Amino acid sequence: MSARNILVINCGSSSLKFALVNEAQATFPLQGLAERLGSPEAVVHWQLGDAKESLNLPGADHREILNHVLPLAQEAAGGQLDGIGHRVVHGGEHFTASSLIDANVLEGIRANAQLAPLHNPANLVGIEAAMALFPGLPQVSVFDTAFHQSMPEHAYRYAVPDFLYKEHGVRRYGFHGTSHRYVSKRAAEMMNLPVEDSSWLSAHLGNGCSTCAIVNGESRDTSMGLTPLEGLVMGTRSGDVDPNLHSHLARTLGWSIEQVDRMLNHDSGLKGLSGLSNDMRTLSEARQAGHPGATLAFEVFCYRLAKSLAGMACGLQKLDGLIFTGGIGENSAAVRERTLDHLKLLGFQLDGEANARCTRGVAGEIQVTGSPRVLVVPTNEERQIALDALALLDA
């Protein structure tokens, strides 16, 4: 059998990311991004082999983009496309693993839309468009939340009245599950440890950020909650604040729920603290030049991350390693160093040279001898989605 190809699709409300994953190739034969869908500025960028191209498609929606992507994917796959994998944000308590999509699965994704009103409907649009365009191909949904369904009740319940959980699903779900799952498996492979007898702390630090405690290949706790706002400081998201902030701002400034939500999700985090940017690379440069806002944002980001990791340690009996991943985790030696400065009590100490070496896709161990292990592991959510799709095809 020749190596199989899976087209991976990640639909946001006005964007669509895609990648063709070949099971035998380390790089993607095709990958791309369509943005500003539904507007006159709709555009799709893609890279096929070494060639980069862009096309303006004014007014294009998800379906039109997929119409355009299909022939590209077939070309990149040499005419042999074996399946499609869809990233779906919220699987609620319905989905504890990836699923082959049928009418029941579609209904389950729809039923969870209330928990992710911006994301699940966009994911469904992508799935339905792909099913209409590729009716003969198996399609698989891979949920951000599914990995965390193994959390024990004491980790996933909020201390609010019971009926809010039982009747309305108010609990902690967690996100970034595909990434935490992928990097913890990779870490076990890199260290020659059996996944089913290993314990990790993982920090996924991208535009969204979360930590996770992973035991024997299962999530035991994670920093995001009912929504991806809980937990760490992120690009534009505040992470944890006092839950009374909503009522405080309503009382003192007359703000509506929508205004507070917007501020916490879009104007906070690194952007809000620095007054400069949501982008850690920009902030790192500004910090080196002495910018006070960038310095503050960096310091709060690292301290809160360390605090979250120390808390996550409650989910473990032993530690085989702390994993850094995501754009910041994979590239910022300064964030790794400053974060571990705050975790000296747990014995962490970095090897400066190894820490500096692990950037731009270089994986490896970065601690000194005697310190608990610290690993940089590049994430690859597209490959994990394709692996899940292939496993379901084999089953």
Q: In the bound complex, what is the minimum distance in angstroms from residue 335's beta carbon to ligand ADP?
A: 7
- List beta partners, residue 7: 20, 84
Interface stretch with ligand ADP, choices 150-158, 224-232, 252-260, 279-287 (CB under 6 A): 279-287
144, 221, 320, 388: the active-site residue: 144
Cβ contacts of 13 within 8 Å, gap of 6 or more: 118, 119, 121, 122
Among 326, 350, 374, 386, binds ligand ADP (CB under 6 A): 326
User: What does the longest C-alpha to C-alpha distance in the chain come to?
Assistant: 67
Site string for ligand ADP, 30-69 (x = CB under 6 A): ----------------------------------------
Annotated binding residue 278:
no
Q: What residues form DSSP beta bridges with 200?
A: 214, 321
Q: Which residues contact 104 (CB under 8 A, 6 or more apart)?
A: none
Stretch binding ligand ADP (CB under 6 A), from 12-20, 154-162, 201-209, 248-256: 201-209
Judged by CB under 6 A, the residue of 178, 211, 332, 384 near ligand ADP is 332
Which part of the chain contacts ligand ADP (CB under 6 A), choosing from 25-33, 46-54, 149-157, 323-331? 323-331
Q: Tokens 């190809």 label which residue?
A: 5
What does DSSP assign to residue 83? Answer: E
Least separation, in Å, of the C-beta of 206 and ligand ADP?
A: 2
Q: What SS3 state is found at 21?
A: strand
Please report whether residue 199 would count as binding ligand ADP according to CB under 6 A: no
- Residue 239: closest CA among 303, 293, 182, 289: 303
Window 281 to 320, contacts with ligand ADP (CB under 6 A): 281, 284
Annotated binding residue 205: yes
Residue whose beta carbon is closest to ligand ADP? 327
Cα distance between residue 384 and residue 266, in whole Å: 28
Supply angle C-alpha 198, 201, 204, rounded to 5.
125
Q: State the DSSP code for 350.
A: B
Is the CB of 248 or the CB of 281 nearer to ligand ADP? 281
Cα–Cα distance for residue pair 215/86, rounded to 1 Å:
26
Start-to-end CA span in the chain (Å) = 16
Does position 211 bind ligand ADP by CB under 6 A? no
Closer residue to ligand ADP, CB minimum distance, 322 or 358: 358
Residue whose CB is less far from ligand ADP, 91 or 326:
326
- Reply yes or no on whether 144 is catalytic: yes
For residues 92 and 123, give the distance between their C-alpha atoms in angstroms, rounded to a whole number: 14
Tell me which residues are annotated as active site: 144
Q: List residues binding ligand ADP (CB under 6 A).
A: 206-208, 235, 279-281, 284, 326-328, 331-332
List binding-site positions. Answer: 10, 17, 87, 204-208, 279-281, 327-331, 381
